[in-house]
Amino acid sequence: MAGEAERQRHPAWMRSRLEWSSVEAAKARLTGEAGDVPRFIGDVEVTHLSHEFYAWWLEARGARAMPAPEDVNPRALVELLPYMRYLSWEAEDRLVFRIYGSALEAATGIDLTGTNTFGDDMDYPGRAEDMARLKLLHSHPCGLLLIRELRTPEGQPYLCELMTLPVAAGIDGKNRVIGTVMARERMPESDVDFRLTPPLTLRRAIFFDIGFGVPDVPDLCA
């Protein structure tokens, strides 16, 4: 069975990160509480993982528009890091992975650290719109929630949630984005497959307010 082959391909410690019990137990290490952080983005109730991540981001940014690179503290994020990606704009069309979590590596079968999200091998319908959405996180400070339809190794569709928020440029002048990726439904860890194999089906794209309103770009919303 394909599912069993996927299960055996990855070390047990890596597979365990994709078990639902691990995902539901993961928490940001906050000095405050996550209870007041919104659980809905628009009409979408976000996953536990996205909620914890958003709580961390709000606490890390404090009274500023967004956190600085030095605020991305692995100690506060240690339980969320397996499901996180952290990227920097190295050029106008180069958004490079600086961190690619171990659970994401397990679910894609590859470590994307150091690769360009919009490289030549990722030319797909909707690529330009995806790039434009991510650039808006800084040009009009806001958050972005994407719901994509992915497929298990057996070809069954399921929904995957990606929450992405901005991080300010460091001394290198490069803007960053940070976010989580996780399935929106309970499923066996062997069925979780985050490989973004075209065609990429986008179900929802929602910009959300982090204090500056949301951009008026209906063509980039779904």
Confidence bin at 125 (pLDDT 50/70/90): confident
Contact between 51 and 39 under an 8 Å Cβ cutoff? The reply is: yes
pLDDT digits (tens, 9 = 90+) for 25-78: 999 999 988 778 999 999 999 999 999 999 999 999 999 999 999 999 999 999
| 160 neighbors 194 (Cβ within 8 angstroms) | yes
pLDDT for the residue numbered 198: 64
pLDDT band at 123 (very low <50, low <70, confident <90, very high): confident
Cα separation, 74 vs 105, in Å, equals 18
Between 96 and 1, the higher pLDDT residue: 96
Higher pLDDT, 166 or 19: 166
Task: Write phi, then psi, for 21 (nearest 5 degrees).
Answer: -65, -35
pLDDT tens column, 168-177: 999 999 999 9
Strand partners, 179: 85, 164
- Show the tokens assigned to 194: 């985050």
- Could you tell me where the DSSP H helices lie in the chain? 2-9, 12-15, 20-25, 48-61, 74-77, 102-108, 127-139
pLDDT of residue 155: 84
Structural domains of the chain ordered from first start: 2-220 (3.30.450.20)
Q: Determine the pLDDT at residue 10.
A: 52
Q: What percent of the chain has pLDDT over 70?
A: 91
The Cα-based distances of 108 to 10, 83, 100, 209 in angstroms read: 11, 12, 11, 31
Compute the average pLDDT of residues 99-120: 89
Q: How sure is the predictor about 8, in pLDDT bands with cuts at 50, 70 and 90?
A: very low
Q: How confident is the model at residue 3 (pLDDT cuts 50, 70, 90)?
A: very low
Q: Which two tokens stand for residue 120?
A: 């030549």
Q: Is the pLDDT of residue 101 over 70?
A: yes
pLDDT of res. 4: 43
Interval 155-180 mean pLDDT:
95
Mean pLDDT over the full length of the chain: 89
What's the whole-model pTM score? 0.91
Which residue type sits at 142? C
